[in-house]
Structure 1
Amino acid sequence: MPSLNFENAKQEFRDYYNENYDLLDGAMNSFVTLVNSLIRNSSDITISKIEGRVKERNECVKKFSRKYRATLEAEGHEYQIIDHISDLIGVRVVCLYEDDIEKIKELLCAHFEVVDITDKIAQIESTENYFGYKGLHLDLKLNEQRRTLPEYSKFVDFGFEIQIRTIIQDSWSVLDHKIKYKKSIPNSLKRRINSLAALFEVADREFREIRNATEAILQAEDLTQEQIAKETDLVQVGEATSKTKAYILNAFSFLKIANHFFPGFDFEPHKVDGFTEEIVSLKKGITRGKFNFYLRENIATVKKYKEFFENKNTGETLNPYTMIRHCLYLGDKEAFSNLLSSHVMEAFKEWLVDNG
């Protein structure tokens, strides 16, 4: 019941918290699962982590006392603490890049009822000399459609706060909270903290720009299947023509060629980078035409071996990376012998005796 008696309000909130904690925890887990599902199903957003928590009881009371109590009592407004703790249930989404934040916001606003939005990014960036925590906070509730679903029936009265931030912003928030006595330290230390915050902001921007530049390079790799085919036709086994020497295999051309032979497979960038480096280190100067030649000439044989291998070894498979290794080995056994382990190579050789 609303009142101006803080001790009564505090006890009332503690009783509510204790009686409803299991329900609050269940709601939190349900909201985390729902948010996770919505974002993971969005193909163009990469998430570092999604986590949730029910705010500690005493922290709720402290927050109310710090932010609301004095004003409410001065104005004679009766209160209940629970009405002023919008982040009793909290969810945090940590993404990779700053522009993912807006995408996540639009996605969540389309699937939840929006109660309030606090844009700490805009607040910081609207100033010219202030640096600090940046993140987007949304106060949300289940929308009308989900409130009718049985699995959410127990949680229809609960709202939650969701914080959306990048890995860099999340790191700053964690470290910033560990700095003690920030209001009392000398200005020289405050200046150093601001300098660090500015560096974090630069890092966030630079990672985004590096990603954009890398994607631009990939798009600029003007490599059609017709062009690859022409370069491949120029390739003679064991030598490269002057026309193909200019087009040394790199991660971008590897991806273009590999996607042609294995459509739908998710070639992860860091694996492509490392695998391409391994290939180039084993055969110096290998061109994209030569690489495509090895795959084109040997993929049929390797597919037959894959079928044999998987029939013989229940539950095991040859993924595209492994199939490419076998194709390259067939193309140049001397150069690419190290692409296969001795056990794998011997099994392949044995099969080739009867099927090669």
Structure 2
Amino acid sequence: MYINIEDFIRNNLMNYRRLTPMIISIIEGILRSNDIDFLSVTGRTKTKESIIGKQRRKEYKDFAKKFTDISGVRIITFLNSDVNSIEEIIKRTFEIDKENSLDRAGSLGTDRIGYRSVHYVCTLGEARAGIAEYSSLCDLKFEIQIRTVLQHAWAELAHDRSYKFGATLPPNLERQINLYSGLLELADKGFEEISNSIDSYAKEIAKSSPVELNDKVIDSITFVKFMTNFLTVNKIETKRKIDDESVSTCISELHEYGLNSVADLNSIISDDAIESLKQEIAPKSVIGIIRLLMLFHDIDRYFSRVNFSWGRIHKGTYDTLTRKYEDKKIQSILKDKNVEIVKPE
């Protein structure tokens, strides 16, 4: 039975508008449940005008089958390994139209490096047909596009007509475009290699004994390993988790203080400081613990070398410092540095 494009749109567009956010929600859920990092999952549903315009250009005889991208979702991730992982998840989650799906990387010639991306044409599949909210949508096709951040950057430049990167250009300009798009591809591979190296280093540090760790420089990975061991061995609990921001602050202050290796950090830790940290009045954040260790070791050195950004000191920390320094000395330094003593509420 013949159906014109207007009838097709009238009968189906509302369902496509329902479909797109559903796909986004499903994909975000499965990526998170599989612990896959991603920058964004976005979608769009073609407008009536866009569908009609495409039909005029393509003149599809069977547009009901040919329109596979009325609903489209784009997944932007960070590394090519993430793209590969997402591909496998997409294959398990949806029913794939292999004839219309495309690996853009395989279709580009060696002289047209362009951008690499993967396109899948899918349906929700028969498994969801029995679910009321999906029942009227299961036969609708949609497109999923997977790109890395750098692939996405190149694609946006190539398709933005104001930049004209996607135009047919003189050979010298074509060569330049291929050269720089190739550099983006190399950068993509480089980030992948760096990520793999970091993973290998992290595994090496995770297996390190305290003696082996002692020889390492202080970096984000060795610091977390050291701190985790330190808190566990000394049975010290923190109120806040060790996060990237606190780790970065700690490492910066340790380096300014003059501590560059784990051995250096171990050298300033005294039994008195550890005993103080076990008390309820002592600081319970990672930053507070590291600062107390430095202050307890040499308060003059800390305030003369470290570019600190805090203007308050907890009364518990102050009381801990009085176990080593005279009140008058501490008061004088804090006053000189405009640091206020804050009592617990």
Structure 1 length-normalised TM: 0.73
How far residue 37 of structure 1 moved from its aligned partner, in angstroms, is 1.0
Q: Counterpart of 1:236? A: none
Match of 1:59 in 2: 50
Instruction: Mark the CA change 1:184 to 1:247 in structure 2 (over 3 Å): closer, same or farther.
Output: closer
Which residue identity does 1:61 align to in structure 2?
I
Cα deviation for residue 58 of structure 1 reads 2.6
In the other structure, the counterpart of 1:255 is 224
Counterpart residue number, 1:278: 253
CA distance in 1 between counterparts of 2:38 and 2:241 reads 17
The 5-angstrom pairing of residues 30-179 of structure 1 reads 30-43=22-35, 45-67=36-58, 69=59, 78-79=61-62, 81-116=63-98, 117-124=101-108, 127-178=109-160, 179=163
Task: Read off the aligned partner of 2:317 and give its amino acid letter.
Answer: K
Take 2:267 and 2:309, find their aligned partners in 1: how far apart are those partners?
19
1:10 match: 5
Secondary structure of the corresponding residue to residue 253 of structure 1 = helix
Match of residue 238 from structure 1: none
Change (3 A) 1:300 1:64: farther
State whether residues 49 and 95 of structure 1, in contact with CA within 8 Å, keep that contact through their aligned partners in structure 2: yes
Q: Which whole-Å deviations, capped at 9, do the CAs of 1:308-356 have from their partners, x for residues lacking one?
A: 88xxxxxxxx54444444444444433445557231x143335548999
Distance of 2:269 and 2:73 partners within structure 1: 47
Q: In structure 1, what is the equivalent of residue 177 of structure 2?
A: 193
Q: Deviations over 1:142-189 (max 9, x none)?
A: 244333334434533333211111000000111111133844432332
AA aligned to 1:188 is: N
Partner residue in 2 for 1:288: 262
Retained in 2: the 8 A contact 1:302–1:327?
Answer: no
Distance in 2, Cα, partners of 1:294 & 1:144 = 65
Q: Distance in 2 between matches of 1:198 and 1:293?
A: 49
Deviation at 1:63? 3.1
User: 1:37 corresponds to which letter in structure 2?
Assistant: G
Instruction: Return the alpha-carbon distance in structure 1 between the equivalents of residues 270 and 41 of structure 2.
Output: 43
Question: 1:242 maps to which residue?
Answer: none
Give the letter for the 1:279 counterpart. L
Q: Identical aligned pairs, as a percentage?
A: 21
- Contact 1:140/1:162 (8 A) holds in 2: yes
CA gap 1:53/1:202 in 2 versus in 1, 3 angstroms: same
Structure 2 SS opposite 1:349 = helix
Say yes or no: does 1:348 pair with 2:316. yes
**Inter-partner Cα distance in structure 1 for 2:165 and 2:202:** 48
What secondary structure sits across from 1:155 in the alignment?
Answer: coil
Shift of 1:105: 0.7
- 8 Å Cα contact 2:103/2:119 also seen in 1: yes
- 2:338 corresponds in structure 1 to none
Instruction: Specify which structure has the higher proportion of helix.
Output: 1
Report the secondary structure of 2:76's partner residue.
strand
Q: Deviations over 1:35-89 (max 9, x none)?
A: 001101222x22111111112333333334444x2xx5xxxxx42x332111111
CA change 1:158–1:251 in 2 (3 A) is same
Contact 1:248 1:285 (8 Å CA) reproduced: no
Of residues 171-180 and 136-145 in structure 1, the stretch that sits farther from structure 2 once superposed is 136-145
Measure the CA separation in 2 of the matches of 1:130 and 1:35.
Answer: 31
Whole-Å Cα distance in 2 between the matches of residues 27 and 278 of structure 1?
51
With the length of structure 2 as denominator, give the TM-score of the two structures: 0.75
Alignment of 1:167-246 (within 5 A): 167-178=149-160, 179-180=163-164, 182-221=166-205, 224-227=208-211
* Distance change >3 Å, CA 285–CA 176, structure 1 → 2: same
Q: Is the 8 A contact 2:157 2:165 kept in 1?
A: no
Instruction: Provide closer, same or farther for how the CA distance between residues 274 and 206 of structure 1 changes in structure 2, counting only shifts above 3 A.
Output: farther
Partner of 2:19: 27
Number of residue pairs aligned between Structure 1 and Structure 2:
310
Partners of 2:231 and 2:44 in 1: CA distance: 42
- Where do 1:328-347 residues align within 5 Å? 328-337=294-303, 341-343=310-312, 345-347=313-315
In terms of mean alpha carbon deviation, does 346-355 or 58-67 score higher?
346-355
Cα 1:224–1:157, aligned 2, differ >3 Å: closer, same or farther?
same
